[in-house]
Amino acid sequence: MDKVFGCWYEAGDSGTWLTWFINQHKDFPKFKEQLHYQEKGNEFGDIPSDYSCDGATWQCGIFDDGKILSFSEYLQHIPIFDPTAATSYSKLCYKLLPWHNPIQTSQDEFDTNETPDQVCTRLIEDSNTDCIIIPQVEISYKLFAMRQAFIRPRHLVEGCMQSYAQKIEHEYKTISDRVRKLAPVHIVAIDKLILQNDEDVYKDLINVLGVPPLPNWKEHTNYYYHTIFRPWENVDISELNNRKVTSKYKYTDHY
């Protein structure tokens, strides 16, 4: 493997889609596209919650009844996870399960007695990761917050918006600074990429990947925006907050 990238992200920041998108480029496995429904048959017209990308998912900790894999074992399982993936590739971008970004995980959630920094170091060394790619929301978080409240119904939209404001103000930087001590980091302004088709953001990304641009890259970003985010432009915040599935939680006003 010439280059290995890890997409480490905070929940709600479209890290699964970004992992899939990266893997569509030259010399990558080109995993298949799958829409994931958090609440199929939901009251908002079957709005999908995200993509799923089984081929890119490295399960490195206990999750449901799945098997914990080393990186080499994960590579061997890719044809099982996604039989449509290319059989010959020299670059790969993985995502982690169950911790999307271990640096941000409480130590008591790990299967071992390691600290978050030790877990991150072990995963980076096991995979020979060249660069950690971290998506961040920088300028427009309302739609991201609404989608997050939809996926995590125990939270109100206002709480999700407050969380994004805090991440933009200081938490994103704290997270990336910690990861940067362990490996090179590239930040992707995910809202600019998806909502605005920002060409500078895309150029910076493919420069890090060392690949030519996809001729149809905007088709991918536009499809994701229209499928995942645009439907929330027509939904009132109160409709999300007043769902039965949300009201059953006692602490919905806390993120």
Q: Is 164 exposed, middle or buried (0-12, 13-18, 19+ CB in 10 A)?
A: buried
Kind and range of the H or E element at 57?
strand 57-59
3 phi and psi, to 5 degrees? Answer: -140, 135
Q: In angstroms, rounded to a whole number, what is the distance separating the alpha carbons of residues 160 and 147?
A: 9
Q: In angstroms, rounded to a whole number, what is the distance separating the alpha carbons of residues 249 and 255?
A: 12
Q: In angstroms, rounded to a whole number, what is the distance separating the alpha carbons of residues 110 and 43?
A: 36
DSSP secondary structure letter of residue 37:
-
Q: Given this model, what pLDDT does residue 254 score?
A: 45
Structural domain boundaries in the chain: 3-139+172-218
Q: Which residues of the chain have pLDDT under 50?
A: 251-252, 254-255
Is residue 253 helix, strand or coil?
coil
Q: Given this model, what pLDDT does residue 106 score?
A: 79
Number of residues that this document lists for the chain: 255
